[in-house]
Amino acid sequence: MDFFNYSGTELHAENVSLAAIAEQFGTPTYVYSRATFERHYNAYANAFASHPTLICYAVKACSNIAILNVLAKLGSGFDIVSGGELERVLRAGGDPAKVMFSGLGKQEAEMARALEVGIHCFNVESEAELYRLDKVAGEMGKKAPVSLRVNPDVDAKTHPYISTGLKENKFGIDILDAVRIYEVANSLPNLDVMGVDCHIGSQLTELQPFLDTFDRLIGLIDQLAEKGIKIKHMDLGGGLGVRYRDEVPPEPGEYAQLILEKVKGRDIMLAFEPGRSIAANAGVLLTKVEFLKCTAHKNFAIIDGAMNDLIRPSLYGAWMNIIPVSLQPTGEGSRVYDLVGPVCETGDFLGKERELDITAGSLLAVRSAGAYGFTMSSNYNSRNRAAEVMVDGDVAHEIRARETIDHQLAGESLLPA
């Protein structure tokens, strides 16, 4: 459920019409709904309320500090994968004690900063990383809280680029090797073994892979207990899918019910790192038709949003729903269009073969663009990145100004004469 709906013939984000947002802030613009973010976060928080659980929103999905601030106010923790994401969380008023630091290439300075502010836990992905973290913590006279991210070899049955829990993926530590590496972690003087972590993939539309993962992790936790290593939390990562087209992903409530049943009677905190299921349907990319170009072979609508703004269709062949901001007939009639951007690549499209009644100047909304939309955008073709606007009830707030060429060039310089 989200708060992007037609009121009469006009698409609104909460109580604000998208046409008014385009008028005020221009296009392309990412438009988010605060109420939708809150609803999606609360779906997790309420579903797991009966058990000690930390919901750590995956910052990479959509990282604007206004959004992190809205979630922090609800009590959210954060899953981060870089020093940059940590600084965002801190600027947004997030609680470092609720931060999980994931990612397989953590640098010494990133580790040191996370130790300085006191994060909840490092999700360590290799033996080499354990030694580095032990060294950094030792130099600071601190103990680093660690989980090992284990790779449970479970097939998430999702797109190969976003499947992460198979033996052949670069992520995590093979579960068959995990006991040995936990023993190493336990023996290092500046580490404090806290938990077990995993993340098997993204856009999962079935619960069974999560349940299989849970069983494998519990098996590991029991093996560790026999060796005297007590695990305090189990982090099941993110991965719950959303509806882009006709998928029917499980709700957080269904997920919670099955996991809570399994964890009953165990003294262990749960943690989750949802990104997409909180952010995707809380945002749209608002874009305008520049020109129609109808040829003997194809009809193209050339729009002002492009692959640099939203790369999911180009990169993964992802299908994203594209709907008109106004349902009023344009006089042009309906045709089947490929919706393409101005970037000089054949792969620059946001949608193909979409039947729409549009004309030059028509506004379109790409739905479900809140996750991995703006955060994956770039300056390719020296295009300024889009503005970001958050609607809160009756008001639209600009939470990131549209980039200018001065922003783009700020760090560049000519060679000396």
Nearer to ligand LLP, 240 or 289 (CB): 240
Residue 61 beta carbon to ligand LLP: minimum distance, rounded to whole angstroms: 5
Return the residue nearest ligand LLP (CB atom). Answer: 238
Q: What angle do CA 135, 137, 143 make, to 5 degrees?
A: 130
HSE-CB for 209 with a 13 A CA cutoff: 28
Mark the binding-site residues, compressed into ranges: 239, 273-276, 312, 316, 345, 372
**Catalytic (active site) residue 344:** yes
Residue 239 beta carbon to ligand LLP: minimum distance, rounded to whole angstroms: 4
Nearer to ligand LLP, 80 or 286 (CB): 80
Nearer to ligand LLP, 11 or 194 (CB): 194
Q: What angle do CA 394, 397, 398 make, to 5 degrees?
A: 155
Mark the binding-site residues for pyridoxal 5'-phosphate, compressed into ranges: 239, 273-276, 372
In 3-state terms, what secondary structure has residue 110? helix
Edge-first strand order for the sheet with 10-13 is 4-7, 10-13, 16-17
Of the candidates 293, 314, 311, the one whose C-alpha atom is nearest the C-alpha of residue 302 is 293
The alpha carbons of the chain give a radius of gyration, in whole angstroms, of 23
Residue 256 beta carbon to ligand LLP: minimum distance, rounded to whole angstroms: 15
Give the DSSP H or E segment for 115: helix 108-117
**Interface residues with ligand LLP (CB under 6 A)?**
58, 61, 79, 102, 162, 199, 202-203, 237-239, 273-277, 312, 316, 371-372
Residue 275 beta carbon to ligand LLP: minimum distance, rounded to whole angstroms: 3
Could you give the CA distance from residue 153 to residue 166 in angstroms, rounded to a whole number? 4
Residue 60 beta carbon to ligand LLP: minimum distance, rounded to whole angstroms: 6
Nearer to ligand LLP, 76 or 362 (CB): 76
Q: Which of 121, 198, 294, 344 is catalytic?
A: 344
Mark the binding-site residues for substrate, compressed into ranges: 276, 312, 316, 345, 372
Interior/surface letters 99-108, b for 16+ CB within 10 angstroms, e for the rest: bbbbbeebee
Nearer to ligand LLP, 314 or 362 (CB): 314
Of the candidates 375, 400, 376, 370, the one whose C-alpha atom is nearest the C-alpha of residue 388 is 400
Could you give the CA distance from residue 98 to residue 100 in angstroms, rounded to a whole number? 7
Q: Which residues, other chains included, contact 50 with Cβ-Cβ below 8 Å and sequence gap of 6+? A: 260
Residues marked as catalytic:
344
